[in-house]
Amino acid sequence: MSSTPMIQANKKHMSRNQLISFVAKWIFLGIMIVFTLYPVVYTILGSFKTNAELTQGGGFFPEQWHFENYYRAFVEADFLQYTWNSIIVSVSVTVLAVVTCSLAGFILARRDFAGKKLWMTLYLSMMFVSLGSVTLYPIYEVLRELGLHESVVGLVIALTGGQATNVFLVMGFTKALPKELDEAGIIDGCSLYQVYYKIVLPLTKPILAVVALFSFRNAWNDYVTGLVMTITAPELKTLTVAVVQLKYSVNAAAEWHIMLAGASIAIIPILIVYAFAHKQFIAGLTAGAVKG
C-alpha cells in the first residue's frame, strides 16, 4: 500500500517534467518563428511607408498605406523588366541544373569508368571549399572569350556552376534504387539513356524537386554573380541587383521605400515555387535521409 503514494508522486513528477518540456519547446519554436517572420513582415509593411517614415523610425505599421510605391518600383524603376530577367535566368538555371545533376548523379551511381574516384574526390572537395568571388574573374574572362559575357546564356552558365552538393544528393538517392531495375530494362532492350530516362529519372523525382528548389532559390537570390556579369549589360540586370542598386537614387538619397517594395516583389516567386514544390521537397529530403 505504501508504494501507491510513491507511484502517484512519480507520475506527478513526470507530468510536471513533461509540461515544462512542452512549454519550453513551444517557447523556443515561437522565438524562432518570430525571428524568421519578422524581417519578412517588416519588409512588406515598410513597402507601404514613405521614405521619411522609414528613415525617421516611425511605427511598425504604416501611418498611411502608400500603394504607389509598387507603381514606382514597376514603372519608374523598371522592375517589370528586371523581374522578367530574373524569371528567365532562374528558370533556365533550374532546368539546366536538374538535367546536369540528374545525368551526373546517374552515371556516378550506376557506372564505373576510368578516373571515377578522382572526379568524385574533386567533386567532394568542392563541397567543403568555398571559392566565392575568387572564381568570378576567371569565369567572366572565359565567357568574354566565348562572346557570352553580355548575354543571358552567359549569366545562366555562370549561375549553374558549382552543383557538387546537388550531384551527390542525386547520386546517393540513385544508389538506393535497386540495380535490378536497370538490368530488367537492358534485358528488354533499353539503351543506357533509355534506362536513365524511362526507369531512373521517374523514380528520382523527389530528390530532383529538392535540387530544383535549391537551384531556383540560389539563382533568384544571387547578387554578386549577377552584378559582375551585368556590369557591361545593364539591361540584363536581375531583380536582386536592381533592388540593391536602388539604395541611392539620382538625388543621392536612399530610396528605402522603393527598395522594400522591390524586395517584397522578389519574395513572391520563391513563395509560389515553394507552395507548389513543398510536398516533393519534403518527400525528397525524407527519402534521402532514410535511403542515404
pLDDT, tens only, 109-145: 888 888 888 888 877 777 666 556 677 888 888 888 8
User: Considering the chain, what percentage of its residues have pLDDT values greater than 70?
Assistant: 84
- For the ranges 172-176, 245-249, 272-276, the maximum mean pLDDT occurs at 172-176
pTM for this prediction? 0.78
First to last CA, the chain: 53
**How high is the pLDDT of residue 20?**
81
pLDDT, tens only, 264-289: 888 887 777 777 766 666 665 555 44
Q: What is the amino acid identity at position 123? A: Y
Pair 49, 67: CB distance under 8 Å: no
Mean pLDDT throughout 60-84? Answer: 81
**How high is the pLDDT of residue 290?**
44
Q: 80, 211, 93, 78: which is closest to 152 by C-alpha? A: 93
Query: Is the predicted pLDDT of residue 14 greater than 60, yes or no?
Result: no
- Residue in this structure with the C-alpha cell 533499353, named with its chain if needed: 190
**How high is the pLDDT of residue 194?**
86
**How high is the pLDDT of residue 96?**
94
Alpha carbon 142 to chain centroid, angstroms = 26
Q: What is the mean pLDDT of the chain?
A: 80
Query: Is the predicted pLDDT of residue 249 greater than 80, yes or no?
Result: no
> What distance in Å separates the CA atoms of residue 289 and residue 105, rounded to the nearest whole number?
17
Mean pLDDT throughout 101-108? Answer: 89
**Contacts (Cβ under 8 Å, ≥6 apart) of 292:** 172, 173, 176
At 90, the pLDDT band (50, 70, 90 cuts) reads: very high
Q: Looking at 20-34, 118-132, 232-246, which range is the least confident one?
A: 118-132
Pair 209, 284: CB distance under 8 Å: yes
User: Considering the chain, what percentage of its residues have pLDDT values greater than 90?
Assistant: 6
